[in-house]
Amino acid sequence: MSKNLFITRFLPRGLLQPATDANYTVDMYEEDSQCPRDVLLSRSREADALLVQGTDVIDAQLLDLATRLKVIACCSVGYDNVDIEAAKSRGIIVCNAPSKDLIATTAESAVALLLSVAKRITRLHVGQLEGKLPPFSISQTMGLPIRDRTCGIIGMGRIGGAIARIMKCGFGNSILYFNRSAKTELEHALGAQRRALDELVTESDFVFVVLPLTDSTRNLLNRRNLGFLKRDAIVINIARSGVIDDDALVRLLTEDRIFGAGLDVYGDALEKCDHPNLVLTAHMANAEKQAAEATVEMAISNIVAVLSNGPPISPVTT
């Protein structure tokens, strides 16, 4: 029996060659936009594999319908859109796609957000267009230096490690990190020091949030510990919005208790915040063709491996 692959968003046909070579029946939602829920449910029913985007909700309802399903491949590092426990209980393997290019572009975009806030790039650009440039005045706050400061990274996985290397090697920063386990290689290579969360927030000039959203990380940065930030601190979030208490961060910004924030992910409260040193990038800061193609290739490789009864390349569950 032919194996069926459902792809939830239009992809260039050339990227699908490994699935075609494996003689899979490829069913693809032909719009370059989020797959509607009813289409997702109906076209997953006969699928042996799903190649999904981060906006596709893969829950127990869908898994109950997709009785042939063996593998779910996410075109992303994150996988919080998938009910992992529901998949495991049904013997379905879930994979993410932490390609080297995706790791690199995400780290680059995080540092770009920091630079945009610290050097007021977005603010100056908008001010120029609107004829409302902030003044040049030594007696007033202007931009902040990036060099020779202290960078705190919450979540020292692949992306966190890539950010640490850029900040240490490019800007001479001291590196602090908060992580479940010690990262001895980075400690030796970069002089990184592991800290408790409150200590990291208190000591850092820049705080990068690079954690997945789970029950244990939801509102990890909250009103209490955000209050420990320095007055000229910058917060960068490229993880998931729920890791930070949005209302608490808005309050810090509106009261000018931190310098600013660069957020690739955020909720409604921050969308409405008009702080001049707030930069928002709509979860698209790491959008890059080279990285996107590498991520799709890795996701399809996971599918081919699992449907060929081999081990997945980057499993979240096995």
pLDDT digits (tens, 9 = 90+) for 264-310: 999 999 999 999 999 999 988 888 999 999 999 999 999 999 999 99
Residue 175 pLDDT grade (very low, low, confident, very high; cuts 50, 70, 90): very high
Q: How far is Cα 30 from Cα 191, in angstroms, rounded to an integer?
A: 49
Q: What is the predicted pLDDT for the residue at 213?
A: 86
Exposed, middle or buried: residue 67 (CB in 10 Å: 0-12, 13-18, 19+)? exposed
pLDDT in tens, 115-142: 999 999 999 898 889 888 888 878 777 8
For residue 243, CA distances in Å to 66, 139, 176 come to 31, 36, 19
Is residue 183 within 8 Å of 156, Cβ to Cβ?
Answer: yes
Q: Is 0.85 surpassed by the pTM of this model? A: yes
pLDDT in tens, 3-62: 999 999 999 989 999 999 999 999 999 999 999 999 999 999 999 999 999 899 999 999
Q: Are 4-100+289-307 and 103-280 the same fold in CATH?
A: yes
Domain extent listing, the chain:
4-100+289-307, 103-280
For the segment 190-200, the average pLDDT, to the nearest whole number, is: 98
Q: What is the predicted pLDDT for the residue at 157?
A: 94
Q: What is the predicted pLDDT for the residue at 212?
A: 87
Is residue 73 within 8 Å of 301, Cβ to Cβ?
Answer: no
Q: How far is Cα 49 from Cα 92, in angstroms, rounded to an integer?
A: 9
pLDDT in tens, 206-263: 999 999 888 899 999 999 999 999 999 999 999 988 999 999 999 999 999 999 999 9
> What mean pLDDT, rounded, does the chain reach?
95
The C-alpha angle 114, 150, 218, rounded to 5 degrees, equals 65
Q: What is the predicted pLDDT for the residue at 144?
A: 96
Q: Residue 66 above 90 pLDDT?
A: yes
Is residue 164 within 8 Å of 177, Cβ to Cβ?
Answer: yes
Q: What is the predicted pLDDT for the residue at 272?
A: 92
Is residue 25 within 8 Å of 43, Cβ to Cβ?
Answer: no
The CATH T-level fold of domain 103-280 is: Rossmann fold (3.40.50)
What HEC string does the chain produce? CCCEEEECCCCCHHHHHHHHHCCCEEEECCCCCCCCHHHHHHHHCCCCEEEECCCCCECHHHHHHCCCCCEEEECCCCCCCECHHHHHHCCCEEECCCCHHHHHHHHHHHHHHHHHHHCCHHHHHHHHHHCCCCCCCCCCCCCCCCCCCEEEEECCCHHHHHHHHHHHHHHCCEEEEECCCCCHHHHHHHCCEECCHHHHHHHCCEEEECCCCCCCCCCCECHHHHCCCCCCCEEEECCCHHHECHHHHHHHHHCCCCCEEEECCCCHHHHCCCCCCEEECCCCCCCCHHHHHHHHHHHHHHHHHHHCCCCCCCECCC
CATH 3.40.50.720 fits 4-100+289-307, yes or no: yes
Exposed, middle or buried: residue 314 (CB in 10 Å: 0-12, 13-18, 19+)? middle
